[in-house]
A and B are shown apart, each in its own frame.
Chain A
Amino acid sequence: MRWPSLAPSLWIGFTAALLCATYAFLYVPIVHVALASVSTNTMWPYPPRWSTAAYTALIHNRVYLEALMNSAIIGLATAVLSTAFATAAIFGLMRYPGRHRGKLLLLYLAPLFVADIVLGISTMVFTNLFMGIGGNLAVAILANAVRCFTYAFLIIAVQLYRYDWRLNDAAMVFGATPVQAFREVTLPLAAPALFSASLSTFILSFNNLEISFYLLGATPTLPAVAWGTLRYGIRPELFAVTTLINLAVILGFAAILISLKVGRHRRLTQAEEVRGLT
């Protein structure tokens, strides 16, 4: 395709404007929430009049804190469970492919096509009516893990699809047990996929409303509380807690970037050391 013949400076101006607009679209709502959280008027903080009232209220509001804790627990536990099970499933399917590989694959992916709300209701029916277990965190975690397993499965499968399992053969011939081969070779090469899978499943379950809602009864989670405020009025605490979460995400990414840089530096110096020894 040929670019239309415009002056280069015009093009640069246009693309720069487009870039700015894109970032504005992404970040203005987030900045708005942050501004609102530190303003006296949380509905229209322009110009902001600074206040920490929202944070003070948050500290004293047990429901929000409890909801944050519950969401965090659900997110973490679901991420660990679904990523671990998805890894095991893919390892089994790809390392030891059998006649039923296609069928098993479809069965693993089926939960993807069940609407969250249906999964929530049917899990409630199953645990509550059939097994007589009331809603609690553990049941919510398991139900979330069922759905998140599928996402983790897809993310990891894409990466390990191209993985050469004969590398494990090589490792074993050179003295590694199957577990060592997995830890020394498969795991480092699959690490990016495992990281994306756990991150995605954490976010999915942390933010999940429909599944958790039916299984938790009176136990609050962050999305449930946020949804509740729609009916009973949006409170400043919601802006405060959202801002804190965004802050945590930004800090988390910064930490990842720094650790990657540090890790590369350390690898290089380690290699230098080996060279010195030999």
Chain B
Amino acid sequence: MYIEIDGISKTYGRRVKALDDINMAIDKHEFISLLGPSGSGKTTLLRIIAGLETPSAGRVLIDGKDVTGQPPHQRGVAMVFQEFLLFPHRTVVENLSFPLRMLHLERGEIARRVGWALEILSLTGLENRYPRELSGGQQQRVALGRGLVASPKLLLLDEPLANLDRELRQEMEIEIRRYQKELGIPFIYVTHNQEEALSMSDRIAVMSMGDVEDFAERTIVYNHPKTPFIARFVGRSNAFHGRVRSVSSTAMVVDCNGIAVQASNVGARPGDEVDLYIKNEKISLLRGTAAGENAPACTVRDVILRGNFTEYLLAAANGQMLVAGLPAGAETFLPGEDVTAVWDEAAVDAFVRRLQ
């Protein structure tokens, strides 16, 4: 593989374990996201790959070469920072040419490459502006250009869109993914925003408390969460908790405080405590009340219009609140109406609680 992260650990002092034995292999054409809440170690891992921090154990290999002992300036990687970190005393052109000057390229080549970056990032006309004279989106593009201009072996992005507004963010998501596909170098993208991770990445590494919970293709991370943490963190889900009432060879029925949920059997025995998660959009609504598993009777409490889909806030008979997301154009319901929330057995992500 093009990039290998081999048993990387990072401890601060004696107790604090920021990263615990991380192993990842990344191919040359891949767009990887490190997705996790703050404090999950994703930025630390990125800084270790860049060489800005030293791991307590493990190795980093780029293009087959062990770079663990190398300082950042010898690694040939580039980075886009959350706060952009453009050099405030340098103009746009000077910021863009910085990595090229450090490579001691000749003037013509520098001008050619800076021109290329200005072109693809549509920064033409802003050459002589200072960073403080640019809008957030423009600064972002300069930061991105500075990352791409020297054709690095690898581009690291540390929440680069966190400081932009929503509309601009969605625009940049598409652009960033396009650059990655065009340049054919791996991008490693750190974010706590699952939408960004889902929209751009080929594979997602979900991180929590210094561990990689799962490193898999984005559809698998979304549709088949490997751990309860991923089920909670990725997508919007309804959470249930209860004890297994009965099991068959393929399925089990869980009593969740009066709501009977049927899920595929994940190796539980009757009496086991399980956590169940059902993504909002996998719940649909039927008018009137019905009975049985996966069909709790509910009352519509509120309707939230999201444009391309509608969210129904539901109160079940046991008081639990549920959220169902129906696509635009589906049958509509009014607040106060009695409905039945139904879902497929396959829509339930079930996890048996292990004794800690």
A170 touches B81 (CB 8 A): yes
- Chain B: which residue is nearest A185 at the CB level? B87
- For B50-92 the 0/1 string (1 means CB < 8 A from A) is 1110000000000000000001110001110101010111010
Residues of B within 8 Å of A180, CB to CB, are: 73, 102
- For A153-187 the 0/1 string (1 means CB < 8 A from B) is 00000000000101101111111111010001100
| Docked complex Cα distance between A277 and B97 (Å) | 13
Please pick, from B73, B77, B103, B111, the residue contacting A277 in the complex, using a CB distance under 8 A.
B111
Residues of B within 8 Å of A274, CB to CB, are: 93, 97, 111, 114, 127
Q: In angstroms, how far is the closest chain B Cβ from the Cβ of A181?
A: 8
A189 touches B89 (CB 8 A): yes
Secondary structure of the A contact surface, majority rule = helix
| Docked complex Cα distance between A277 and B77 (Å) | 27
Q: In angstroms, how far is the closest chain A Cβ from the Cβ of B80?
A: 10
Judge whether B128 is part of the interface by a CB distance below 8 angstroms. yes
Judge whether B268 is part of the interface by a CB distance below 8 angstroms. no
Taking residues whose C-beta sits less than 8 angstroms from the other chain, chain B's interface range is: 20 to 34
B91 touches A166 (CB 8 A): no
Residue pairs across A and B with Cβ atoms less than 8 A apart, 22 shown, are: A166-B83, A166-B85, A169-B72, A169-B81, A169-B85, A170-B87, A171-B98, A172-B72, A173-B52, A173-B77, A173-B78, A173-B79, A174-B73, A174-B98, A174-B99, A175-B102, A180-B73, A185-B87, A185-B89, A274-B127, A278-B112, A278-B118
Judge whether B327 is part of the interface by a CB distance below 8 angstroms. no
Please pick, from B73, B107, B118, the residue contacting A176 in the complex, using a CB distance under 8 A.
B73
Please pick, from A177, A188, A268, the residue contacting B73 in the complex, using a CB distance under 8 A.
A177
Residues of B within 8 Å of A166, CB to CB, are: 81, 83, 85
A175 touches B81 (CB 8 A): no
- For B110-150 the 0/1 string (1 means CB < 8 A from A) is 01101100100000000110000000000000000010001
B102 touches A176 (CB 8 A): yes
A174 touches B107 (CB 8 A): no
A275 touches B127 (CB 8 A): yes
Judge whether A12 is part of the interface by a CB distance below 8 angstroms. no
Residues of B within 8 Å of A175, CB to CB, are: 73, 99, 102-103, 150
A173 and B50 in contact, given A166-B85, A271-B128, A274-B127 (Cβ under 8 angstroms): yes
Residues of B within 8 Å of A171, CB to CB, are: 87, 98
| Docked complex Cα distance between A275 and B97 (Å) | 12
- Chain B: which residue is nearest A274 at the CB level? B93
| Docked complex Cα distance between A271 and B51 (Å) | 33
Q: In angstroms, how far is the closest chain B Cβ from the Cβ of A154?
A: 23
Could you tell me which residues of chain A, from 168 to 218, have a CB within 8 Å of some CB in chain B? Answer: 169-178, 180, 184-185, 188-189
Residues of A within 8 Å of B118, CB to CB, are: 278
- For A231-275 the 0/1 string (1 means CB < 8 A from B) is 000000000000000000000000000000000000010011011
Q: In angstroms, how far is the closest chain B Cβ from the Cβ of A96?
A: 13
Taking residues whose C-beta sits less than 8 angstroms from the other chain, chain A's interface range is: 20 to 34
- A residues sitting closer than 8 Å to B (CB atoms) are 164, 166-167, 169-178, 180, 184-185, 188-189, 268, 271-272, 274-275, 277-278
Residues of B within 8 Å of A278, CB to CB, are: 93, 111-112, 114-115, 118, 127
- For B23-66 the 0/1 string (1 means CB < 8 A from A) is 00000000000000000000000000011100000000000000
Residue among B73, B77, B78 with max Cβ neighbours from chain A (10 Å) = B73
| Docked complex Cα distance between A180 and B101 (Å) | 11
| Docked complex Cα distance between A189 and B98 (Å) | 16
A167 touches B127 (CB 8 A): no
A170 touches B79 (CB 8 A): yes
Residue among B79, B81, B87, B127 with max Cβ neighbours from chain A (10 Å) = B87
Q: In angstroms, how far is the closest chain A Cβ from the Cβ of B189?
A: 16
Q: In angstroms, how far is the closest chain A Cβ from the Cβ of B273?
A: 44
A173 and B72 in contact, given A166-B81, A274-B127, A278-B114 (Cβ under 8 angstroms): yes
Q: In angstroms, how far is the closest chain B Cβ from the Cβ of A277?
A: 4
A167 touches B85 (CB 8 A): yes
Q: In angstroms, how far is the closest chain B Cβ from the Cβ of A97?
A: 14
Residues of A within 8 Å of B52, CB to CB, are: 169, 172-173
Q: In angstroms, how far is the closest chain B Cβ from the Cβ of A204?
A: 29
B93 touches A271 (CB 8 A): yes
Residues of A within 8 Å of B93, CB to CB, are: 271, 274-275, 278
A164 and B150 in contact, given A173-B78, A278-B118 (Cβ under 8 angstroms): no
| Docked complex Cα distance between A176 and B150 (Å) | 13
A170 and B150 in contact, given A271-B127, A275-B127, A278-B127 (Cβ under 8 angstroms): no
Query: Given contacts A176-B98, A274-B111, could you give 16 more A-B pairs where the C-beta distance is less than 8 Å?
Result: A169-B72, A169-B85, A170-B79, A170-B85, A170-B87, A172-B71, A173-B77, A174-B78, A174-B98, A185-B89, A189-B89, A271-B128, A275-B93, A275-B128, A278-B93, A278-B118
